[in-house]
Amino acid sequence: MAKQKKKAKSGETERKETPQKAPEPQAEARKVLKKKTPEERRRAQIEGIKKTLVSSILGIISGVMCYHLLGNGTDMMLGGVRVEWHFILLNLILLTTIVQRFIYPLIGIDVLSFKGKDWFYVEFIVVDLWAVTWTILLN
């Protein structure tokens, strides 16, 4: 600080220091996590189990359907047209997402509160169990 004053006196321009902002009370309030009541935790756990169960069942059903429709997967013909594995995978993700959007409200889960990570979670389970089921049936 003393050196800056000496330089300013000698004719050099003084550096402008940016003022330090005090932390906003709103930002501190956002950091504090709201503790859930035991009832809210129980409801969240039940919803998680429902989501996992529905997506698991959809994955198993998808694996069984692929086994019966596409066979062993070496020459995949669907309706006389050759299909690739990525086409099947993308359609699987699309169809199971649409089905889940209709099933979840029927079992009491709010679909509008879903975020990207929630959809990624349920679709990962669907794709994982689809691949596992189809692989087990092929052996």
Over the chain (139 residues), the average pLDDT of each successive run of 10 is 56 58 60 80 92 95 90 75 84 94 92 90 95 92
53 domain residue, yes or no? yes
**In Å, how far are 5, 8, 72, 90, 94 from 97, measured between CA atoms?**
66, 66, 25, 11, 5
Residue with tokens 């596992």: 132
116: domain range?
38-138
Measured CA angle at 123 (ends 97, 132), to 5 deg: 120
8 domain residue, yes or no? no
Q: Where are the alpha helices (DSSP H) in 1-139?
A: 2-9, 25-31, 38-70, 85-106, 116-138
98 domain residue, yes or no? yes
Q: Are 67 and 137 in contact (CB under 8 A)?
A: yes
6 domain residue, yes or no? no
- Per the document, the length of the chain is 139
Q: Are 12 and 65 in contact (CB under 8 A)?
A: no
3-state secondary structure of 78: strand
Alpha-carbon dihedral sign for residues 75, 76, 78, 81: negative
- Identity of the residue numbered 8: A
User: Which residues fall within 8 angstroms of residue 76, CB to CB, at 6 or more apart?
Assistant: 70, 82, 83, 84, 85, 88
